[in-house]
Structure 1
Amino acid sequence: MIKTSYAFDPAILTVGSSLKTNALLRFRADIPESPRRDLNLSLVIDRSGSMAGAPLFHALRAAESVVDQLEANDILSVVVYDDAVDTVVPPQPVTNKSALKNALRRVHAGGITNLSGGWLKGCEYVKQKLDPQKINRVLLLTDGHANMGIQDPKVLTATAGQKAEEGVITTTLGFAQGFNEDLLIGMARAASGNFYFIQSVDEASEVFSIELDSLRAVVGQNLKVTLELANGVKLVDILSLAKVSQNQKGQSVITLGELYEGEDKLLGLSLEVSAAQVGELPLMKLHYSADVVQNNVIQSVSGITDVIAKVGTVEESAFAASSDILLDLSRLTIAKAKETALDLAEHGKHQEAEKILRSLIEELRNKGLNENFEIAEEIDQLEYFASRIAQRTLGNAGRKELLDQTYQAMNRTRTDLVGRGVTVGDEIYAMPTVNDVGSGVELQCVREGGKLRVKVLSAGYDATKNVQFPRAIRAEGARYVVEGVELSTDGSFYRVTGQINRLTKPGEADIFVAPRQSRSVSTGKASKGPASAADLPTTDTVNDGILVQCVKDGSKLRARVVSDGYEPDWNMRFPRSVREEGMLYVVDEVKTGPDGKSYIACGEIKRFVQPSTTNVS
């Protein structure tokens, strides 16, 4: 069965006024000792040139960790793609884990990004073994933009929705900073799947594990809620992540996707209500349905809940306690404000966007919610994003963080997914520095579960407690000296008091001495090669270089750029002496030729040697 409950903010509506109120509706599949459902899973992994080096290494290690966590009744397939789409593991039960992992270890980076081809092959494999009693899922991982095959985001998003209707749901995972977040989020939303931003290459295994935990916890799917609003009630906005449509009666039909064991599915609604008199005021009927696990099989269940608000005097409304829902509603309200602010900023309305975020900060503080550490962290995030938007310096990394935080907060209630972000705060480079702690308190910024946290290092303090700290000056590994720290009202976290300085101890390298500089400018001269590719220096990292691949084109060997942002079909001036079919190279710079439709390799050329997972325990 599905349990429902609801609450409002304010908890009591004011009589005789037309006002906006936020309603929080909760849905939970109440299924005791639900058995683990078997998985029918396809991992689709980008192996294009931009994944070369550490990204592909960690992605494949993450895939191996998935194999370790699956069981014999699960079905697994693995697809990799660059120009070509290759099947590493055809659909099969996970009975020989060593063989599956050995197959993964033979994968190497290649060319350009045929995202659609890889993803559709994964969908095909899941469809082959489709079983409504299993969780049927494609996990699509990429670090770049689709530049081969179907590239139109609208087509890919619509197709993701179509595949979901056929029973194949897609979860998308964006790796590092080069992927198209609008495409991956759009596909996940259309498919009612999940989306993850893997910000640091070494957290890939952790993110994969979060998704596997989620899949094992699915106890209900296709949760739909129809709102039958009473007279005088208007739906202003939906605060949760959902697909919304209208039925023949003009009522809103809200699709919320999956239900997870032990986890509430939240639906936040912003309503406009005319509260005429003191007493109970019916606001709506909720008609809900879902496919849930009952007696070890999937069954359809449905129900109706009457949503009734309490109307009181101004005094009753002012003093009514609503703390039980303030935190959950605040998370949704914060996420919605971030989404709205980004949309405004990208339409040139930066001042309006900043105002929305700063007004919300003031509202949260006025409600005393800054005494809750999670909301205090969100306030720091809001201030960070408001400042970046106002200065028009949000950037690629900031945009991805903001959209990821919005998606997770509006979709799930897992605290390990909320507020993730590890981008270095720009203001750390301009901070005043000291070289000893003196009478102050020493702090350090560390990365925990995809979040930058600040802890106390000085003796006499609880090193396990978090410190509320400005987001704009956080950077993993950085140390600080502050005048003092004090406990929050409930004693659960610390607050900084006084001046904040960055600590740079004598004899230690200062890695935050200046903003990260781009690669030094090359001479701009065309590259010259030695006698053969074997004579080239080698590297196993791309860093700020450009990745080039040698491919067979008819009877000729030609070089092409496979790094994102370049035209993969353009010819390239590249030393013939070092060309070997399939080989990858890293060059300092790529210039556009005089004809405007070809490239010239410039500066030093290195042969790219791919790291292997074979000997890693």
Structure 2
Amino acid sequence: MILSAKLLRPAGSPAKTNTLLIRLNSPTGPANSQRQPLVLGLALDRSWSMKGSKMDAVVQASSSLVNWLTRRDFLTAVAYAEDVQVIQPLVPLAEKNSVIHRLNSIQVGTSTNLSGGWLHVLRTLELHPLADGYKRVILLTDGNPTLGIKDPVQLIQIASDAYKKGISTTVIGFGNDFNEILLKEIAESGGGNFYYVETPEETGDIFFKEFGDIGTLYAQSIELRVEFPKGMDYHDVVSEVSSYLEPDPEEAGRSKSLVIEVGDMRADDVKSIVVQMRPTKKDTPENIKISASYYELSEGAKLEQKSFDLALDWKDESGKEDADVVVEATIAKTGKGLRKAGTLLKEGYTEESIGLLNDLIKEINEKEELAPEVLQTLGFRVSSLKNRILENSPSAAKHLVASASELQYGTQESFPDDGVEYHDQIYCFRSAEDIDLYRCPEIKGSIQEKMKEGYRYIVFNLSKSSYIDSSAIGMLIQIAGWLRKRGGELIVSNLRASVKKVFSITRLESHIRSAETEEEAQSLLQAWIESKV
């Protein structure tokens, strides 16, 4: 893990506030290591409103998730309505077909006992004895609780308490009838993700994205601590993160440090946190001390700590701004603004919500030249969200809140690649045999070496592979993620009938493109490259 930080302006700037950018970069992870076992719980809404295409899509996506997991992983699933139906007790995934068969047996009920289903899964995972596994609940609902615990404060507290015990909660809101503000707060307090599924067709992509998150986890329960020197004091947290202040015992009314709860982080990821500070005294010899503590999952959940001292240049009074900090601060402010706009809209303050979005668009446009590609995309996104309101879309508030979640940790543009310059050449990897748990580390290591050479467009020729297992599926998902983050792409080619069947059963074909031949795959990638020029 790389911890770094910098200021918007030199410490000596006459401005009343200064902005601190803290950045965490996680490595791609050691290629020769196996990921920690996953202990997953599915809590699926089976109330009457889920009947039909909604339930079908959830069952299909859940079945795909089962197929992406390995035999080392554990899964339990419940479906809740007026009561809680245990679909699958917690078991290792040795026999996936029976689990999928049980998922397909779910029948809809009437009411929505969200807390009943969720608490059942939380208790099951808490009692599971696996010491070095990662535990997560995926909670899906299309409405508000009608039975059981309905108080938002209590539900958020359940998520927080479970996370302190090492169990995170991801929440998926389905359709237009749920409380997006509540579900997002549950996910934030529970250390998981919040997703919005507007149509059943989107369900598979959301489960794919979630598996990409939990299948490559690097660090859990990350906590940042910012210690303010005597010349600086806390002003505000711009990023949408949970935090609290620790008072200075020697000076009344002053904050000694800020503690930020970042949550979990997958391998090959970037998280940017933006904090505003207020200079109170010049010429202090102290630095801003920043530390990060977390459990590194590749080391058997070993507690690790990183520290970074940011020197303050009080002599430089130029006020020159760092463009990187400006961009990240703009993104963080936009994320917080989108959430506020969603809340305003939900409470009926439509004009105020639109006005806030107009202010965000104006600020983004003013700074666009600093990072044209990133900020143009951001400006277009906010404009599209505003148009949803103008069109009276019933899902506008949900899209605002979901977009705020996606912007929570910045651009995701900077990766710890040691100065690698990526090019547009295509690399063809040709597998020489079947791919299973034992071959995956070697293959990932080979791909990582090619990425260090600047390759980001890769063809996987599987002509000599008649068998791939779930570890290989997870590997392909991970490699596709590596490449896409760097503007590249992965295409698999020359699939034998047996491997095609695996792609079809696991619905991997919906997420990773395939070609009949290596030459066709190269042509597809070349067309992709040329379209971006």
Q: Same fold (TM over 0.5)?
A: yes
What residue number does 2:91 align with? Answer: 92
Of 400, 403, 406, the match for 1:402: 400
- Once the two structures are superposed, the pairs formed by residues 322-337 of structure 1 within 5 Å of their partners are 322-337=322-337
Q: Is the 8 A contact 2:327 2:367 kept in 1?
A: no
- Once the two structures are superposed, the pairs formed by residues 59-458 of structure 1 within 5 Å of their partners are 59-247=58-246, 249=248, 250=255, 251-273=257-279, 276=282, 284-293=288-297, 296-310=299-313, 317-318=319-320, 322-343=322-343, 353-369=353-369, 372-386=372-386, 396-411=394-409
- Identity of matched residues, %: 23
How far off its partner does 1:27 sit?
1.8
How far off its partner does 1:327 sit?
4.0
Amino acid at match of 2:103: L
How far apart are the structure 2 equivalents of 1:388 and 1:310? 46
How far off its partner does 1:119 sit?
0.8
The more displaced of 284-293 and 401-410 is: 284-293
Q: Is the 8 A contact 1:14 1:275 kept in 2?
A: no
Of 23, 27, 32, the match for 1:26: 23
How far apart are the structure 2 equivalents of 1:386 and 1:216? 34
Amino acid at match of 1:400: K
How far apart are the structure 2 equivalents of 1:293 and 1:259? 10
Amino acid at match of 1:222: S
- For the structure 1 residues 291 and 62, does the alpha-carbon distance in structure 2 shift closer, same or farther, using more than 3 Å as the test? same
How far apart are the structure 2 equivalents of 1:331 and 1:275? 29
How far apart are the structure 1 equivalents of 2:110 and 2:141? 13
Deviations 1:266-316 (A, max 9, x none): 211122335857xx985521132111135x4221122432123445767x5
- For the structure 1 residues 95 and 388, does the alpha-carbon distance in structure 2 shift closer, same or farther, using more than 3 Å as the test? closer
What residue number does 1:50 align with? Answer: 49
Deviations 1:149-186 (A, max 9, x none): 11111111111111112222111111121222122112
How far apart are the structure 1 equivalents of 2:355 and 2:82? 45
- For the structure 1 residues 161 and 262, does the alpha-carbon distance in structure 2 shift closer, same or farther, using more than 3 Å as the test? same
Give 3-state SS (helix, strand or coil) of 1:410's partner. Answer: coil
Unaligned runs of 5+ in 1: 417-447, 450-461, 467-490, 494-617
- Normalised to the residue count of structure 2, the TM-score between the two structures is 0.70
How far apart are the structure 1 equivalents of 2:224 and 2:189? 17
How far off its partner does 1:219 sit?
1.3
Amino acid at match of 2:39: N
How far apart are the structure 1 equivalents of 2:245 and 2:355? 33
Deviations 1:52-101 (A, max 9, x none): 01000000000100111011110111101111211111110101111111
How far apart are the structure 2 equivalents of 1:353 and 1:48? 32
Structure number, greater radius of gyration = 1
Q: Is the 8 A contact 2:181 2:343 kept in 1?
A: no
Unaligned runs of 5+ in 2: 249-254, 414-480, 482-509, 512-525
- For the structure 1 residues 306 and 394, does the alpha-carbon distance in structure 2 shift closer, same or farther, using more than 3 Å as the test? farther
How far off its partner does 1:223 sit?
1.1
How far off its partner does 1:380 sit?
2.4
RMSD over aligned CA atoms reads 3.1
The alignment of Structure 1 onto Structure 2 pairs a total of residues equal to 415
How far apart are the structure 2 equivalents of 1:261 and 1:142? 29
Deviations 1:464-483 (A, max 9, x none): 699xxxxxxxxxxxxxxxxx
How far apart are the structure 1 equivalents of 2:95 and 2:388? 50
How far apart are the structure 2 equivalents of 1:230 and 1:66? 48
Amino acid at match of 1:306: D
Amino acid at match of 2:339: E
Q: Is the 8 A contact 2:342 2:398 kept in 1?
A: no
- For the structure 1 residues 463 and 147, does the alpha-carbon distance in structure 2 shift closer, same or farther, using more than 3 Å as the test? farther
Give 3-state SS (helix, strand or coil) of 1:225's partner. Answer: strand
Structure 1 or 2: more helix by fraction: 2
- Normalised to the residue count of structure 1, the TM-score between the two structures is 0.61
What residue number does 2:4 align with? Answer: 5
Amino acid at match of 1:404: A
- For the structure 1 residues 157 and 130, does the alpha-carbon distance in structure 2 shift closer, same or farther, using more than 3 Å as the test? farther
- For the structure 1 residues 35 and 372, does the alpha-carbon distance in structure 2 shift closer, same or farther, using more than 3 Å as the test? farther
Q: Is the 8 A contact 1:241 1:256 kept in 2?
A: no
Structure 1 or 2: more strand by fraction: 1
Give 3-state SS (helix, strand or coil) of 1:285's partner. Answer: strand
Amino acid at match of 1:272: R
The more displaced of 66-75 and 159-168 is: 159-168
Amino acid at match of 2:362: E
Amino acid at match of 1:382: V
How far apart are the structure 2 equivalents of 1:282 and 1:356? 38
Structure showing greater relative contact order (alpha-carbon pairs closer than 8 Å, 6 or more residues apart): 2
Deviations 1:198-235 (A, max 9, x none): 12211211111111111122111111112211223232
Q: Is the 8 A contact 1:25 1:268 kept in 2?
A: yes
Amino acid at match of 2:288: M
How far apart are the structure 2 equivalents of 1:310 and 1:348? 47
